[in-house]
Amino acid sequence: MTSTLTPLPARERPARRGRAVRLGPVSMPLRPRLIAAGALTTAVLAVLVALNLSVGDVFVPPDRVWANVIGTTYDDYFTIWRVRMPRVVVGMLAGAALAAAGAITQTIMRNPLASPDLLGVTHGASAGVVAIMAFGGSYGIISGPLAQVGVPAVALAGGLAAGALCYGLAWRGGIDGFRLLLVGVGVSTVLMNVTLWMLTLGEVTDSGRAMVWIAGSLSMRTWPDALPVALALAVLLPLALASARTLDVLSYGDDVVRGLGVRLELARTAMLVLAVLLAAFGTAAAGPILFVSLACPQIALRLARTPRPPVLLSALVGAALTCAADLVARTLFDGVQLPVGIVTGCLGALYLIYLLVRGNRKVQA
Amino acid sequence: MTIHEHLGRVVRDPAPTAPVRLRARDLTLGYDDRVVVQGMDADIVEGTITCVIGPNGCGKSTMLRALGRLMKPRSGLVELDGRDIHRVPTRAVAEVLGVLPQQPTAPDGLTVADLVARGRHPSQRWYRQWSGDDQDAVARALEQTGLLDLADAPLSELSGGQRQRAWISMVLAQGTDLLLLDEPTTFLDLVHQVDVLDLVRELHQQGGRTVVMVLHDLNLAARYADTIITMREGRVVASGPPADVLTPVLLREAFGLEAVVVEDPVTGGPMVVPVGRSTG
């Protein structure tokens, strides 16, 4: 074989690559680099969580944070367990859900710029929340504590409805990824304008609260905010991991997928539903935290050098990025808290531009 | 009624006793409101290489897609080993029949081994995503196509011929004895065309695989096929051994091509020498 590549001795390679990890009847391909990247990301995430718990208006030294976490002291119980911990946990879970949704979306769309933001989910959630915040209070339909409980539910409903709408509009005896994206952009634009219109109609104070939500904020998050997204991740993430090989195949051309014995429409729809659910739950917990779903899968892809964005690693990266962004958002300007979505938006955009400018490897899904 | 009787042209069947693996019966295929293939019949006999030829847009690829269960027929049916292929579970089809679509697409940044590993999909389960069998099958497929040395090379750095070999390896890793290849030689220079077709013949001779492929080059089809199916405007014009199908009369009818058929100095088979476009 004439080649400019320098092949290693033939026999070594298949032995080195393609080894399997076995656990009873369960076996998976062994990807050492993926495992290493996962360990690294987990370590970074742990450091970020610790920093998030200790830094703030009141500085709690790391040893006291730890003592509070394991329950040997209750000195800073309120700061750690009531204020900072829920915020960190909601941020991590929301970031993980959004990033996992992004990894799935980018894979099945075969497009690195595809994200749940473009499937209507984010804007649908925003429109729902703004509707309830801008009109709910003033018109007395939903007010006070009911509005608080209602926000995540409405965000979820809005996100899912918009996702379903996009899917329905894009259906032509099958789903074409590109058409779905275009429909998603259209639906998102309409929803965004509806949202802006509702903001102008509502009371100024209500609109103000709604604006904070739209920007994606983790402030004032409490434990009940974490529960739905935690449950969603507990159910959906294992499903996504069990479908890993389907996702592997779905990143190929349609005829290749069919030829490999995959029921294309069924598989793609199921994966899309998974992504939309993850994104909707993530958005419902913390508002639309921009760019997490777009950038994290691409970061994970580069860390692990896998053929497609790995779902679990993307989720870890999403959690870490959101934690980092929230740390910056809380502490960058003394006394002024930025919504975390602003920071992730800036960080994510910068990272993406960096990737495109560096351009030694094409962005890929 | 078979196409043979239908056309009354075929003299002999290449393997009269061998069973028919794939059979198209009164097959009508189309996209949206456009009918591409109309009332087509074809038999693919076990252990043969069948080449499908015909002018551009005659429905060759569409027909191959239907044979491979990549699309549903408007009417008529495709039988795989005597069963309606659309009643066989998708995965079961993929375990006996491998398809290489025309210009298949894969995500960027794949290595050859990544691509070939994908061929193991039909035999995997969600809990058994990768096993020793898979690894062996991938290594064997790469060995057969001579790509073992390039297993870790990125697909994008391969030459056209090597990339085509990589795709064929993927279909081989699937471990099927029926192979459908849609224009496996497109965009390859003559050397690589012959190279890929020699590989196909090797797979056929050593593994006893049944191969159906769409080819553009009439002389290569003549050289490698046991049976040639000639199509024109969605219908079969002729079907049979190369010597019976590649005649000046049939070439004029199918392609509108004025040609002289001489003896191939290498194989003794028919060789088409075009004169020019027929005026009639």
Residues 6+ apart with CB under 8 A from A23: none
Identify the helix (H) or strand (E) that includes residue A250: helix A244-250
Judge contact between B220 and B193, C-beta under 8 A: yes
Count CB pairs under 8 A between chains A and B.
142
Q: What are B141's two structure tokens? A: 């497929």
Residue in this structure with the two tokens 């742990």, named with its chain if needed: A46
Determine if residue A277 is left, alpha or beta; phi over 0 gives left, psi from -120 to 50 gives alpha, anything else beta.
Answer: alpha
Contacts of B119 in chain A (CB under 8 A): 260
Interchain proximity B132–A20, CB inside 8 Å: yes
Which one of A258, A265, A303 would you mutate to disrupt binding with B, by most B Cβ within 10 Å of its Cβ?
A258
Q: Which 8-state DSSP code applies to residue A339?
A: P
CB contact under 8 A, A364 and B114: no
Kindly report the CA angle at B113 between B144 and B173, in degrees rounded to 5? 50
Q: Which residue of A has its CA nearest to B61?
A: A255
Alpha-carbon distance B138 to A172, whole Å?
A: 37
pLDDT per residue as tens, chain A (365 positions): 444 444 444 444 444 455 666 666 666 677 888 899 999 999 999 999 999 888 887 888 888 888 888 888 888 888 888 888 899 999 999 999 999 999 999 998 888 878 888 888 888 988 888 888 777 654 444 455 555 567 778 888 888 999 899 988 988 877 777 888 889 989 999 999 998 888 888 777 777 778 877 887 887 788 888 888 999 999 999 999 888 888 988 988 888 999 998 888 889 889 989 999 999 999 888 888 878 888 899 889 888 888 889 999 999 999 999 999 999 888 887 777 788 888 888 887 787 787 677 765 554 54
Q: What ipTM score was computed for the predicted complex, to two decimals?
A: 0.84
Rounded Cα–Cα distance for residues B46 and A116 (Å): 48
Q: Spell out which residues of chain B touch residue A249, defining contact as CB-CB under 8 Å.
A: 118, 121
Chain B hits for A262, Cβ within 8 Å: 90, 121
Contacts of A260 in chain B (CB under 8 A): 94, 118-119, 121-122, 174
Nearest to A259 among B99, B147, B153 (CB): B99
pTM (2 d.p.): 0.84
Nearest to B129 among A17, A19, A244 (CB): A244
Report which residue type is found at A94: A
- Looking at the complex, report in whole angstroms how far the Cα of residue A114 sits from the nearest Cα belonging to chain B: 14
* Chain B residue numbers touching A25 (CB-CB < 8 A): 127-128
CB within 8 Å of B256: residues ≥ 6 apart: B55, B277, B278
Half-sphere exposure of A347 (CA within 13 A, CB side): 23
In a 10 Å sphere around its CB, with 0-12 CB exposed, 13-18 middle and 19+ buried, how is residue B54 labelled? buried
